[in-house]
């Protein structure tokens, strides 16, 4: 059994949702850590995230579930339609309450970010810390930053996004040794770009009465004549979060574009080419409201510094760790946001890592690399499933023959056949992991969650330590 002296020191690079979740969990596990963020601050950009049963049990364990509910708007429906106001179908999320005991919530990405940031003591998040060098020995790992500072620890976690500096350093070493798979050496591909933003608080009663209902729907609109899809989400604070996706004719990559995210102040949510895309899409109509509103109306109600254009890369890397270095979230798997899985998978990565770090028997490189192997083995299945589901959904909402066929089937297939044969809704909500080192929460709903190996491992160590203290 490990002791307090065996607890590692964890260096986390990247203060996004995944990095903050890992920090918050290590804080509760009383494990030493520091978070390094390359930017001077993280801008409150992005659209909305749908969070539900996959995270609510964990939020209960962390005692932040009530705070989360205060910033989240319950949602039970998504209305999918065309820009001629034709309603294609309504997607019903009410089954999640029966199956899991939790509903789905729409929350603005900035609000969720602030909630997680509050779980971490300010002195443990260091800004303006861009990593330049990584050096590993048998005893530990050292990083150097652009301000000529150095930091030492036992574990290095790359939670620094799709163009991860940590992954780049790790892959350079593996490539030089001839052990990096060919697919991991290829550029991140993308077939769509996205404009995102969040309006200032609005008066729903005057212009958007559909959103007055506490469990009102969100809307996804597909253009019949252009390769665009736009989605609008209401939040509990009266904001409208929105995203406009441009489905490209052919696959591209960062290397083929002029956008250089890694040189920007915030690599994931830069404002590159945002204004041009706003101008191109202002006329897109909204299928709700008391007047004939357009996306341009929402742009005008959105502070300009909260509008940004991003690439929607899609890739699952084969190599997630090497020695004392490990990746999580977008650094090792980048998902299309159509499936609403990206943020959830990153936070699930953080949870699995926290469980396994807590259960480490010692701080040796052998024990750490074994834990990383278990981490990837546990997470690769759910991540790949989410990747495939997100990719499939992006094809459905994109303009093309596959999307047209899928929408036709969704519109004309009887609901009970769609739910029981075509879409296995129960399968989509069994991945509800929890922390093995925190208090257990009661399992709710009619569908039990799958067993998380990392949680079971951490639970066993937690109980051993609890018994040892009580003796």
Which one of 313, 338, 358 terminates a domain? 313
Question: CATH no. for residue 383?
Answer: 3.50.50.60
How far, CA to CA in Å, does 112 sit from each of 44, 48, 106? 10, 9, 10
**Same-domain check for residues 395 and 423:** yes
Residue 19 pLDDT: 97
Take residue 228 and report the two structure tokens written for it. 């665009």
**Same-domain check for residues 127 and 264:** no
Does 99 fall in a domain?
no
**Same-domain check for residues 322 and 236:** no
Specify whether the CB–CB gap between 336 and 390 falls below 8 A. Answer: yes
Does 267 fall in a domain?
yes
Strand partners for 82? 222
**Same-domain check for residues 8 and 128:** yes
pLDDT-flagged residues of the chain (< 70)? 1-5, 44-45, 251-272, 290, 338-340, 392-428, 471
* Listed residue (20, 37, 17) closest to 28, CA to CA: 20
Which domain covers residue 411, as residue numbers?
4-73+109-186+314-470
**Same-domain check for residues 261 and 285:** yes
**Same-domain check for residues 295 and 324:** no
**Same-domain check for residues 222 and 290:** yes
Separation between Cα atoms, residue 180 and residue 56, nearest integer Å: 37
Does 103 fall in a domain?
no
Radius of gyration over every alpha carbon of the chain, rounded to an integer in angstroms: 22
Specify whether the CB–CB gap between 432 and 53 falls below 8 A. Answer: yes
Separation between Cα atoms, residue 351 and residue 345, nearest integer Å: 10
Residue 251 pLDDT: 67
Does 94 fall in a domain?
no
3-state secondary structure of 26: helix
Take residue 291 and report the two structure tokens written for it. 């007047």
**Same-domain check for residues 384 and 237:** no
**Same-domain check for residues 238 and 293:** yes
**Same-domain check for residues 230 and 274:** yes
Domain count, the chain: 2
Specify whether the CB–CB gap between 452 and 430 falls below 8 A. Answer: no
Q: Average model confidence (pLDDT) for the chain?
A: 86
Positive or negative, the CA dihedral 140, 145, 150, 153 is negative
Which one of 256, 283, 313 terminates a domain? 313
Residue 372 pLDDT: 98
Residue 167 pLDDT: 97
**Same-domain check for residues 55 and 166:** yes
* Listed residue (306, 290, 314, 299) closest to 244, CA to CA: 299
**Same-domain check for residues 384 and 461:** yes
Separation between Cα atoms, residue 45 and residue 306, nearest integer Å: 5
Residues 6+ positions from 440 with CB-CB distance below 8 Å? 61, 434
Which one of 278, 313, 348 terminates a domain? 313
Q: What is the pTM of this model?
A: 0.90
């Amino acid at each position: 059994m490990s002791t307090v002296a065996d607890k590692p020191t964890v260096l986390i690079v990247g203060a996004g949702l995944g990095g903050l979740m890992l920090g918050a969990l290590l804080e509760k596990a009383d494990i030493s850590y520091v978070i390094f963020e390359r930017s001077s601050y993280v801008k409150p950009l992005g659209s909305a995230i749908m969070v539900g049963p996959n995270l609510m049990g964990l939020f209960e364990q962390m005692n932040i579930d009530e705070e989360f509910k205060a910033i989240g708007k319950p949602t039970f429906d998504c209305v999918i339609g065309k820009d001629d106001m034709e309603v294609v179908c309504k997607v019903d999320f009410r089954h999640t309450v029966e199956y899991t005991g939790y509903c789905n919530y729409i929350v603005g990405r900035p609000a969720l970010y602030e909630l997680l940031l509050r779980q971490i003591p300010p002195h443990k998040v260091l800004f303006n810390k861009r990593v330049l060098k990584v050096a590993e020995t048998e005893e530990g790992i050292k990083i150097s930053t652009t301000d000529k500072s150095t930091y030492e620890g036992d574990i290095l976690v790359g939670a620094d996004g799709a163009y991860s500096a940590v992954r780049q350093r790790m892959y350079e070493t593996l490539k030089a040794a001839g052990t990096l798979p060919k697919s991991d050496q290829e550029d991140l591909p993308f077939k769509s770009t996205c404009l995102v933003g969040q309006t200032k608080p609005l008066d729903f009663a005057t212009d958007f009465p559909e959103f007055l209902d506490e469990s009102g729907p969100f809307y996804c609109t597909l253009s019949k004549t252009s390769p665009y899809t736009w989605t609008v989400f209401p939040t509990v604070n009266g904001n409208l979060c929105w995203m406009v996706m441009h489905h490209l004719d052919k696959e591209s990559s960062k290397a083929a574009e002029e956008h250089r995210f890694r040189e920007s102040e915030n690599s994931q949510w830069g404002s590159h080419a945002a204004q041009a895309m706003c101008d191109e899409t202002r006329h897109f109509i909204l299928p709700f409201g008391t007047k004939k509103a357009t996306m341009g109306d929402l742009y005008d109600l959105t502070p300009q510094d909260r509008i940004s254009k991003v690439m929607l890369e899609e890739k699952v890397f084969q190599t997630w760790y090497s020695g004392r270095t490990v990746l999580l979230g977008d650094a090792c798997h980048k998902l299309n946001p159509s499936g609403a899985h990206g943020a959830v998978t990153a936070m699930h990565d953080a949870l699995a890592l926290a469980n396994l770090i807590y259960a480490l028997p010692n701080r040796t490189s052998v024990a750490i690399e074994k834990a990383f192997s278990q981490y990837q083995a546990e997470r690769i299945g759910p991540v790949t499933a989410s990747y495939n589901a997100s990719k499939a959904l992006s094809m459905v909402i994109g303009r093309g023959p596959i999307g047209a066929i899928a929408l036709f089937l969704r519109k004309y297939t009887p609901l009970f056949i769609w739910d029981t044969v075509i879409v296995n809704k129960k399968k989509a909500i069994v991945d509800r992991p929890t922390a093995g080192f925190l208090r257990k929460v009661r399992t709710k709903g009619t569908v039990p969650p799958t067993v998380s190996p990392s949680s079971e491992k951490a639970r066993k160590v937690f109980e051993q330590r609890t018994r040892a203290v009580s003796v």
